[in-house]
Chain A
Amino acid sequence: MADKHTNLIVSAAPHVCNPTDTATIMRDVVIALIPALAVSTYVFGIRAILMTVICAAACVFFEWASRKIMHRENTIGDWSAIVTGVILAFNLPVGMPFWMAIIGCFVAIVVVKQIFGGLGQNFANPAIVGRIALFIGFATPMTTWSVTKNMSQAIINNAGVDAVTGATPLAMWNAGAELPSNLEMFLGTINGSLGEVSALALLIGGIYLVVRKVISPAIPCAFIGTVAVLSLIMGFDPIFQVCAGGVMLGAIFMATDYVTSPITTSGRIIFGIGCGIITMLIRAYASYPEGVSFAILLMNILTPHIDSITRSKLNGVEKKGAKK
């Protein structure tokens, strides 16, 4: 008889798996955020990169420290803290003091995520809660927008970044001031939070994620579509409403956070529509100019209910009932 081999590894099937793991998914999200970062660096100058790096670093540090304190296995290798940090930075005005941004990172990573046991166990999106906490806690710095003049002018002046205090298009819209053109809104040569300005760059990132099958287009489409339809019904300019504020960033990068959004496609569509409705309600009626983050947070909280009503049904069961 031939040589025997003993002590082979015995494990449950399947013995192969898809090469995509959590870290690759998160890495793809970071890659998808790069175009938006590039545009905001172009618009706001080097401080945009600095802010992003500081937030990402702070998030990784808090993740590492809290795992250490909890005596648990370290999870910074899964890139999720970096994603949270970058998205949080994208939600802040570029002139925000760094220490405040770091508090936001603390809220996001420690309060929202690690207290509940870490990745996958939080019920609300860390970056959203971090942003809302900063928004409510530091109302003034969070709504102080220092920004370049119009991009074309900056190029003509060749003076690089010339910071003046300005208002975001949504604030101008709320105040009834003259608005930037839709092209400017789309390209992102406007004022606003660091990563929110360029709809185009965010869209490129979103398409990358859809192509890489990291996100399903259900939530972004439902969200953006609802915002557009509602603005038409309410008599606003849909292109402006979609490109302004955090709709693009929220719909593509924050509402699609797996952990805090429904698991089935029908649930995701409900989730996206809900986000769109609440966003427009807050924009049109509440005292805050922007409602994307509140909308996503509320839908995060509703996610368990959405999940339980959109449970996938067993194959063939209805069919059988119909036959009978």
Chain B
Amino acid sequence: MSSGKHLKGVHVNHSKNTAGMPIIPMPVPERVYIPMSMHIGAPCQPVVAKGDHVKVGQLIGDCDKPVSAPIHSSVSGDVESIEQFMTQNGRVDTNIVIKTDGKQEIAETVVPPVINSREDFIKAVRASGLVGLGGASFPMSIKYNTKPGQVDTLILNGAECEPYITVDHAAMLAYAQDMVDGMRTIMKWLDIPRGIIGIESNKPDAIAKFNEILAGSTDISVCTLRQVYPQGAERVIIYECTGRHLIAGKLPADVGCIVSNVTSVLKLQQFLTTGMPLTTKFLTVDGNIVAKPQNVEVPIGTMICDLIEHCGGLTGEVKKILLGGPMMGRAIPRDDFAILKSNNAVLCFDEKFAAQRKETACINCGRCVAGCPMNLMPARLSRAFKDKDIDALREYNVMSCMDCGCCAYSCPARKQLNFEIKQAKTLVMEDDKKKKAKAEAAAAKEAAKAAEAEAAKAAAEAKEGGNK
């Protein structure tokens, strides 16, 4: 399947301490805090009010804008309040606070959807509340709503290239059959002839399991990926599985692919068979000071501190908490944030890990260039950013950066290359906006001028006519 050529990347220490641990459901916490914006796109509006009793799987937030995903209650209990406060994204958001009753009654609305057509299927995908669970949190119904015939390959992303995180691996071992069924359902309704499951070669048991299930079938195959970070990045996995390049600004569908995380497909399959929308999330809880690192199934809206408490608390003084893996994950300032749909790991570290590394001068070693999967030159971009040279930034394709962090990981001078490139991208985007505005203004001026000339001409003609 792969063309023998590979995209560049870096070798990162796997640190998969929780490998092989099954996913254990976490008991419901006392309260959950469910924000109304867990996806890219328009935020939802609460459809419940303070004091309402809600059940598991009940719709509590929705939005009529197309790019959005509905939000369901992950617990049964009473809506204690609807408040504005900051979520882990750093935004102030509307949160529905639910005091749980511990009964976990399932809502009456939870029934398997009836699907007869492609439209029904897309509607069902939206109703499931699913977003890209790999971290992008892009509403899945939008991703799947492609033009018929546009997509020929469904890629199941089981690469899990980030260090520490093992939850996808655990899910693959536990629910391989459901995932394959889910893939087939999707392929059936979206009319996709080919399915590929991409798994990094450090998970031989998962690969073996899928191969066993898929023995004799021709529609779906397993693609073994190299142990190079970032195999799980969308553009990389598309190239490694199909040999197609996804360039910046394009969607996977433009190159005939849909990429879905393994758990996304699993949850979709579960929704299609049971009607239970996305209410829980599989998470790896790890880090050098977590007492009992493990994989857990957590109700969405659980506070991070509650989750850590569930995992035996901390053995040292926490200095850094990451949501996601150490390569692309976000460091959060406090631990009283709720778990969102897009989270896949909570990692806690002490001083030793969190110590800021001192930045020194770039020595032009080329390690960032050698590590960039997108074939960019991060060192040059960083310099151009320092000089605020927007033309050079464009020339060196700054917008193609996908923020994987390979450059900063491999930099011996400890430069925050991808952070600088991120800022540089903002700079270029602002410049684009300015240019666009300028062009529009110029066009408007031109139009006004033309109109004026036209008017003058008309006036002159009128005058002439009058004279006649």
Contacts and interface: CB of A to CB of B under 8 A. Distances in A.
Interface string A1-34: 1111111111111111110111011000000000
Given A14-B327, A24-B412, A259-B363, A8 B321 contact: yes
Most buried by B among A7, A261, A316, A319: A316
Interface string A206-241: 000000000010000000000000000000000000
A316 B246 CA distance: 7
For chain B, what secondary structure do more than half of its interface residues adopt (helix, strand, loop), or is it mixed? loop
A75 interface: yes
Contacts of B313: 2
A250 B125 CA distance: 63
B365 A10 contact: no
B116 interface: no
Nearest to A261: B364
B361 A316 contact: no
Contact of A120 (B7, B328, B364): B364
A112 B318 CA distance: 46
Interface string A248-264: 00000000001111011
B336 A4 contact: yes
Interface in A290-324: 311-317, 319-320
Contact of B306 (A1, A8, A21): A1
B306 A2 contact: yes
Given A24-B412, A263-B366, A316-B247, A1 B375 contact: no
Interface stretch (B65-73, B79-87, B413-421): B413-421
A10 to B, nearest CB: 5
B412 A5 contact: no
Contacts of A120: 361-364, 413
Contacts of A1: 30-31, 303, 305-306, 336
A17 B422 CA distance: 18
Interface stretch (B44-52, B166-174, B402-410, B439-447): B402-410
Given A4-B305, A15-B326, A313 B365 contact: no
Given A121-B361, A320-B247, A315 B305 contact: no
Contacts of A18: 10, 367, 409-412
B335 A17 contact: no
Contact of A8 (B319, B329, B365, B377): B319
Contacts of A312: 369, 375-377
A78 interface: yes
Contacts of A163: none
A118 interface: yes
Given A12-B419, A18-B409, A118 B245 contact: no
Contacts of A314: 247, 374-376, 397, 400
Interface in B358-399: 360-367, 369-370, 373-377, 379-380, 396-397
B453 interface: no
Contacts of B405: 13-14
A119 interface: yes
Contacts of B332: 8, 10
Contacts of A118: 361
B412 A9 contact: no
Contacts of A311: 377, 396
Given A6-B334, A120-B364, A258-B364, A17 B247 contact: no
Interface in B426-457: none
A320 B334 contact: no
Chain B residues touching A, range = 35 or more
Contacts, number: 180
Interface in A272-297: none
Contacts of A317: 245, 247
Most buried by A among B10, B247, B357: B247
Contact of A15 (B303, B331, B363, B376): B331
Contacts of B303: 1-2
Contacts of B331: 8-11, 13, 15
Contacts of B246: 316
B326 A16 contact: yes
Contacts of B118: none
A301 to B, nearest CB: 15
B13 interface: yes
Contacts of A24: 412
A120 B413 CA distance: 10
Contacts of A75: 360-361
A16 B334 contact: no
A259 B360 CA distance: 14
Interface string B262-304: 0000000000000000000000000000000000000000010
A260 B321 CA distance: 40
A216 B7 CA distance: 18
B245 A319 contact: yes
A21 B414 contact: yes
B326 A25 contact: no
A263 B379 contact: yes
Nearest to A317: B247
A86 to B, nearest CB: 17
Contacts of A21: 357, 360, 412-414
Contacts of B366: 216, 258, 263-264
B250 to A, nearest CB: 9
A119 B320 CA distance: 32
B322 interface: yes
Contacts of A320: 245, 247
Interface in B196-246: 235, 239, 244-246
Given A5-B335, A6-B334, A25-B412, A14 B377 contact: no
A263 B333 contact: no
Contacts of A14: 326-328, 405, 408-409, 418
A164 B369 CA distance: 50
A285 to B, nearest CB: 32
A5 B369 contact: no
A240 to B, nearest CB: 33
A17 B365 contact: no
Contacts of B329: 13, 15
B318 A8 contact: yes
A82 to B, nearest CB: 15
Interface string B345-359: 000010001101100
A283 to B, nearest CB: 29
A4 B305 CA distance: 6
Given A1-B306, A5-B335, A11-B331, A16 B360 contact: no
15 contacts: A1-B30, A5-B321, A9-B319, A9-B354, A13-B326, A13-B329, A13-B403, A15-B354, A17-B411, A75-B360, A75-B361, A263-B379, A311-B377, A315-B373, A316-B247
Closest 6 CB pairs of A and B: A316-B245, A14-B405, A2-B309, A12-B419, A120-B361, A258-B365
Interface of B: 7, 10, 12-13, 30-31, 163, 235, 239, 244-247, 303, 305-306, 308-309, 313, 318-322, 326-336, 349, 353-354, 356-357, 360-367, 369-370, 373-377, 379-380, 396-397, 400, 403, 405, 408-414, 416, 418-419, 422
